[in-house]
Each structure stands twice: as structure tokens, then as C-alpha cells.
Amino acid sequence: TESNYNSGLGRNANSDRTSDGFNIGVNLAVPLYTGGNVTSQTKQAEFAYVAASEDLEAQYRSVVKDVRAQNNNINASIGALKAYEQSVVSARSALEATEAGFDVGTRTIVDVLDATRRLYDANKNLSDARYNYILSVLQLRQAVGTLSEQDILDVDAGLKPAK
């Protein structure tokens, strides 16, 4: 924006008359189009905001999915633990019965070895189920964001052999 103010008093040499003059001027320059710089920056900011919002939503959905999956894994592990604990009890009973049969002569050593193998298999399956349960609990805590060093120390303490 520009403004001008002029004032003057003049006298003509050929005449006895004087003249007063007064001029005011205003220049206003408004850019109607600046090449789209402001418009493009605004659109770029809008797109960046939408992209960030979409990324946030994707992260939220991923966390919810992970939490649900780990919760389902924990529930499945609990069921498997109960089943394998019962399997160990059954295999132990079967081994005891087979050993008693061997002692009286109705079973062979092969039967005793098979029953022993089934007991070891049941114990291995129970150990695998315990491992999966512990892992699922830790993964759930990680997904929720509550996994701490103490959780790891507790697991470590539980894995040490009894004295």
C-alpha cells in the first residue's frame, strides 16, 4: 500500500491570480495470484495430517489385534496345560500298571519301555505348554506396554532348578 499527499501554492507570471493546488493519491497493490505457493503448502499440510492420522489408526488396530491374539493364546495355553497335566497323570498310572504287570509276568520289557516313552512324551508336551503359556503372557504384557524387567526376573526365577 502506498499513499501520497501533495499541496502547493502557485502564481502565474502573466496574471495576478494565484492558484491553490491539492492532490491526494493512493496506490494499493494486492497480489491476486502468487503462483499457488500458499495453496500448495496448505494442501501438503492437510495430506500430511491425513497420513499421520491413518498411521495412528493402523498402529491402534495392530495393537488391538496383537492384544486379542495374545489373550487367545493365553486361554488356549491354559486349556493345553490342564490337558497335558492330566496326560502326565494318565501316563504315570499306565507306567505303574505296566511295571506291575511286568513284575507278575503278564507284560514284557518292551511294554514297560513304551509306557516310559509315553510318560516322557507327556512330560515334554507339558513343558512345551508351560513355555507357550509363559511366552504368551510376556507377549501380552509387551503388546499392552506393561512388560517390565521384574517380569523377566520372575520368569527367570521360575526356570531355575529346585535345590
Inside any domain, residue 114: yes
The pLDDT value given to residue 16: 62
Inside any domain, residue 6: no
CB 11 within 8 A of CB 2: no
Q: Tell me the pLDDT tens digit for each residue of 72-115.
A: 999 999 999 999 999 999 999 999 999 999 999 999 999 999 99
Joined grid coordinates for residue 144: 499392552
What is the domain count for the chain?
Answer: 1
**Distance between CA atoms of residues 80 and 129, nearest Å:** 6
Q: Band the pLDDT of 50: cuts 50, 70, 90.
A: very high
Inside any domain, residue 33: no
Angle at 101 between CA 96 and CA 107, to 5 degrees: 115
Q: Band the pLDDT of 39: cuts 50, 70, 90.
A: confident
pLDDT, the chain, mean: 86
Inside any domain, residue 34: no
Inside any domain, residue 93: yes
Inside any domain, residue 53: no
Q: Domain range holding 68? A: 58-159
